[in-house]
């Protein structure tokens, strides 16, 4: 029996306390006209992922999109084309923000945490 892919094992949502982002799968995903593997929408609270991508691509893509949400939660959001959204900070602030973000991730999403950081690496 074929084991389910990482995308098939994803929980339906990713919780960050102030919002719950729904995972969606879509074929031929595009952002600004360009093909991509993942898109986070802060208005609709969704993380849309390219349907059918292999696990070795899905794993870093899921982590990348989750990090967008986690960094925004820690005040490190903003649009790369918006100079007002540029964050100037210290290493200590960014390190503490990352640490807290990862703890939020682990504590509010134990199933997703185990899927990405435990189960994915089992041999």
The dihedral of CA 111, 116, 118, 119: what is its sign? positive
**What pLDDT, on the 0 to 100 scale, is given for residue 86?**
66
pLDDT digits (tens, 9 = 90+) for 94-106: 899 999 999 999 9
**What six digits make up the tokens of 17?**
């306390």
pLDDT at 30: 84
Residues in a beta bridge with 13? 22
pLDDT at residue 85 greater than cutoff 70: no
What average pLDDT does this structure show over 81-90?
A: 68
Kindly state the tokens that stand for 92. 């200590």
pLDDT band at 15 (very low <50, low <70, confident <90, very high): very high
> Average of pLDDT values for 32-61?
94
pLDDT band at 76 (very low <50, low <70, confident <90, very high): confident
Q: Cα-flanking dihedrals φ and ψ of residue 35, to 5°? A: -65, 145
Half-sphere exposure of 67 (CA within 13 A, CB side): 11
- Kindly tell me if the per-residue pLDDT of 123 is higher than 90: no
Helices (H) and strands (E) in the chain, counts: 4, 6
Q: What is the mean pLDDT of residues 74-93?
A: 74
pLDDT(54) > 80: yes
Half-sphere exposure of 10 (CA within 13 A, CB side): 24
Q: How far apart are CA 63 and CA 82, in angstroms?
A: 24
């Amino acid at each position: 029996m074929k084991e389910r892919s990482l995308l098939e094992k994803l929980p339906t949502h990713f919780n960050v306390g102030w919002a719950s982002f729904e995972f969606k799968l879509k074929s031929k995903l595009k952002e600004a006209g360009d093909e991509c593997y993942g898109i986070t929408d802060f208005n609709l609270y969704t993380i849309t992922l390219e349907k059918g991508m292999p696990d070795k691509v899905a794993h870093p893509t899921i982590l990348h999109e989750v990090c967008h949400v986690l960094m925004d939660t820690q005040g490190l959001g903003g649009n790369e084309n918006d100079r007002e959204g540029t964050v100037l900070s210290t290493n200590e602030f960014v390190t503490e923000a990352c640490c807290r973000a990862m703890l939020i991730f682990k504590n509010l999403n134990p199933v997703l945490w185990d899927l990405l950081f435990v189960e994915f690496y089992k041999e």
